[in-house]
Amino acid sequence: MKIELHKIKVREVIKDYKDDAEEGVIGYNGKLDIRPKYQREFVYKDKQRDAVIDTVKNGFPLNVMYWVVRDDGGYEVLDGQQRTISLAQFVNGDFSLDFNGRLATFHNLTPEEQSQILEYELMIYFCEGTDKERLDWFRIINIAGEKLTDQELRNAVYTGTWLTDAKLKFSKTNCVAYLLANDDGSLLNGSPIRQEYLESALSWINNGEIEDYMSRHQHDANADELWNYFQDVIDWVRKTFTNYRREMAGVQWGPLYNEFKEAKLDAEKLESEIKELMQDEDVTKKSGIYPYVLTRQQKYLSIRAFTDKMKREAYERQNGKCPVCKKQWDISEMEADHITPWVEGGKTNAGNCQMLCREDNRRKSDI
C-alpha cells in the first residue's frame, strides 16, 4: 500500500469546481471527483460548514483528507468530501458568514482575506495499492465524521465503467432498481443512495462474496448482468408470494431465489400457510415466515421463548427432576422445552413447558 502525504492549496483543489446534481461534484482542474455521481450526498449543517471556513481563515489545522488515486490518473475523495465542498461553495459565493466582525461572501472580502482562504494548505493523503490493500486501509481510517458504509468503501476501490453503470441503476434516488422493488409494495429495506440496494443485489448474485464479484466485473462495459438478475429475483418474488405484506421488505430474497427458482411452487398453498403463521403469536419474526415456508427451518421464525415464570412453574411441577433421566437438578442447570413441539401445534405456554437437564435437551434437539 502506497500512501503519500501532499500539501495542496485550496485554490488548486477548487480549480474548475463544478457541482451537478446528476454528474456529481468535481474540482482540482477536473481531475478530482469530490462527490462522484450517484454517491450519497452528505449535507453539512450551517454551523459545521462555517466552522470549516473559520478554521481555514485562522490558519488552524484542518483534519487530513484522503484521496484515492484512480487507474486513469484522476482522484476520488474518500474522506473530506464536505470540507472540500464547503470551501468550494464559499469561494464560489454560495453562502455568507461572519468574517472578522461582518457578514460577507467571499467576493466581499479584501484581497488579503481572500488570500487567507486560497493559500491555505490542505493536508491530503494520496492512496494507491491493490484492491485488498486499499479496502483494508479505508476501513481502518473510516472512524470519524460521516462514516462510509461498507458498500461505499467498496465503491471507492472498484471504480470503473461497471460501477458507474451499477450506480446509475441501483444508487440514485428513484433509480430503476428502487422503482421496480417498490412497485406494488416494497421488497427491500434501506435506501439506494446509502448503497443498500446495490449491496443487496451484489450479495444475492454472488452468495455474499461482494468484493469477488466487483473485482471480476470492475472493467465491464456495463452492469446489465446484475440488473437482469435483480429483475428476475423481483419477478419471481411477485409470482411466488402473491399477497403483499409489509414484512416482505425484511426478507433476503436473493438466496431464496437462487435455491428455489426452478422448484414447482404452489402460490395458493404458500399463501394459505403464510396467513396461518402470521396469526401465530409464537412466531415473533414475521418476515422469517417467507424463508420458513420454503426451507422448513424454524430458525427463521424466532419462536417465542418460555418466560421465567413458565420455567419456574414447570420446574416446581416436576419437583426439580428431569423427566428423561429422572435426576434432580437445580433450575439453573435445566432448559425449557416444548412438550408438544411447536411444529406439531404445541404452544409456548406453561402447560406445554417442561424442564430438561441440558444434556437431555441437547440430545432431543439433535434427533
pLDDT computed for residue 41 by the predictor: 60
Residues 124-178: pLDDT tens digits? 999 888 878 877 777 777 655 556 788 988 988 888 889 999 999 999 889 999 9
Q: What percent of the chain has pLDDT over 70?
A: 94
Q: Which of 53-57, 91-95, 112-116, 342-346 has the lowest mean pLDDT?
A: 342-346
Residues 282-294: pLDDT tens digits? 999 999 999 999 9
pTM of the model: 0.69
Sole residue written with cell 424442564: 355
Of 138, 259, 155, 247, nearest in space to 207 by CA:
259
pLDDT computed for residue 138 by the predictor: 74
pLDDT computed for residue 146 by the predictor: 59
Of 145, 173, 144, 141, nearest in space to 156 by CA:
141
Does 9 fall in a domain?
yes
Does 164 fall in a domain?
no
Cβ(293)–Cβ(280) under 8 Å? no
Residues 17-62: pLDDT tens digits? 998 766 679 999 999 998 865 455 656 788 999 999 999 999 999 9
Neighbours of 142 (CB within 10 A): 19
Of 187, 183, 180, 177, nearest in space to 246 by CA:
187
> Do 201 and 78 fall within a single domain?
no
Question: What CATH number corresponds to the domain at position 329?
Answer: 3.40.1800.10
pLDDT band (50, 70, 90) for residue 89: very high
pLDDT reading at 366 higher than 70: no
> Do 315 and 296 fall within a single domain?
no
> Do 209 and 227 fall within a single domain?
yes
> Do 201 and 284 fall within a single domain?
yes
pLDDT computed for residue 100 by the predictor: 85
Cβ(294)–Cβ(288) under 8 Å? no
Does 282 fall in a domain?
yes
Domain boundary among 271, 300, 329: 300
Does 284 fall in a domain?
yes
> Do 150 and 228 fall within a single domain?
no
Rounded to 5°, angle at Cα 280 from 279 and 285? 100
Instruction: State the cell numbers at 218.
Output: 470492475
> Do 46 and 146 fall within a single domain?
yes
Neighbours of 64 (CB within 10 A): 13
Higher pLDDT, 44 or 84: 84
Domain holding 220, by residue range, is 171-300
What CA dihedral angle connects 16, 21, 24 and 28, to 10 degrees?
20
pLDDT computed for residue 173 by the predictor: 84
pLDDT computed for residue 79 by the predictor: 83
pLDDT computed for residue 40 by the predictor: 56
State how many domains the chain has: 3
Sole residue written with cell 457541482: 19
> Do 207 and 336 fall within a single domain?
no
pLDDT reading at 205 higher than 90: yes
> Do 18 and 143 fall within a single domain?
yes
Q: Which long-range contacts (CB under 8 A, 24 or more apart) does 272-280 make?
A: 274/241, 274/243, 274/245, 275/243, 277/301, 278/245, 278/247
Q: List the end-to-end C-alpha distance of the chain, in Å, as a whole number.
A: 52
> Do 209 and 271 fall within a single domain?
yes
Of 222, 180, 220, nearest in space to 197 by CA:
180
Across the chain, mean pLDDT equals 91
Does 90 fall in a domain?
yes
Q: Which of 26-30, 74-78, 119-123 has the lowest mean pLDDT?
A: 74-78
pLDDT reading at 93 higher than 80: yes
Rounded to 5°, angle at Cα 168 from 83 and 31? 45
Where helices occur in the chain by DSSP H, the ranges are: 10-13, 46-57, 81-91, 111-118, 131-141, 150-157, 161-170, 176-181, 196-205, 210-217, 224-240, 253-260, 267-278, 289-295, 308-317, 358-366
Cβ(125)–Cβ(5) under 8 Å? yes
- Average of pLDDT values for 190-206? 95
pLDDT computed for residue 133 by the predictor: 82
Q: Would you call 301 exposed, middle or buried from its count of C-beta atoms within 10 A (0-12, 13-18, 19+)?
A: buried
Domain boundary among 135, 159, 183: 159
> Do 201 and 179 fall within a single domain?
yes
> Do 77 and 175 fall within a single domain?
no
pLDDT reading at 267 higher than 70: yes
